[in-house]
C-alpha cells in the first residue's frame, strides 16, 4: 500500500484502477480508493493520531493517484524506464475532529522514478 496507509489499521473495501497503454512504450494509470480506520478508537499508524473515545469517527478520506510511465525505445536506453506520478488525498472528517490533528487540509504527493532493468 501507499505511504500514509498501513495494513491492518485501515479498512478500504473497494476502489478502482485503470491502466492504459496509448502507444507501446507509454503507460498511463489512474486509481481511486476510500479509507476508514479499522477501529475508530485505534491509532492512525505512522501519524501519531488517535482518538481513544472514537468520537472523531473513522473516515480518513479518498486518495486519487495518476501516473505516466515511459519506456524509451532508443538502443542505449532499452533497459531504462521513467515514471512520474501524483497523489491527492481528500482528507475525511476524522482529521477535523481527532485531538492534536494538523487539520483537514488536503495533501499532495508527487514522485519521479527511473528504473534500470538488469
Spans of all domains in the chain: 10-116
Select the highest-mean-pLDDT range: 5-9, 12-16, 52-56, 77-81. Answer: 52-56
Q: Tell me phi and psi for residue 77, to 5 degrees.
A: -120, 20
CA distances from 65 to 9, 14, 28, 108 (A): 21, 15, 11, 10
Integer Cα distance of 13 and 35 in angstroms: 8
- Per-residue pLDDT of 82-100, as tens digits, reads 999 999 999 999 988 988 8
pLDDT at residue number 6 = 56
Q: Tell me phi and psi for residue 104, to 5 degrees.
A: -95, 20
The band of 1, judged by pLDDT with boundaries at 50, 70 and 90, is very low
- Per-residue pLDDT of 13-60, as tens digits, reads 889 999 999 999 999 999 999 999 988 898 887 778 889 999 999 999
| Alpha helix (H) residue ranges in the chain | 94-97
pLDDT at residue number 42 = 85
Amino acid at each position: 500500500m501507499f505511504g500514509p496507509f498501513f495494513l491492518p489499521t485501515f479498512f478500504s473495501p473497494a476502489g478502482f484502477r485503470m491502466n492504459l497503454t496509448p502507444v507501446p512504450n507509454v503507460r498511463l494509470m489512474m486509481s481511486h480508493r476510500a479509507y476508514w480506520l479499522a477501529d475508530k478508537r485505534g491509532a492512525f499508524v505512522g501519524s501519531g493520531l488517535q482518538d481513544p473515545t472514537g468520537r472523531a469517527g473513522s473516515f480518513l478520506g479518498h486518495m486519487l493517484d495518476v501516473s505516466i510511465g515511459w519506456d524509451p525505445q532508443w538502443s542505449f536506453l532499452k533497459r531504462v524506464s521513467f515514471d512520474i506520478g501524483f497523489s491527492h488525498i481528500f482528507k475525511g472528517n476524522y482529521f477535523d475532529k481527532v485531538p492534536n490533528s494538523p487539520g483537514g487540509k488536503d495533501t499532495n504527493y508527487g514522485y519521479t522514478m527511473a528504473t534500470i532493468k538488469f
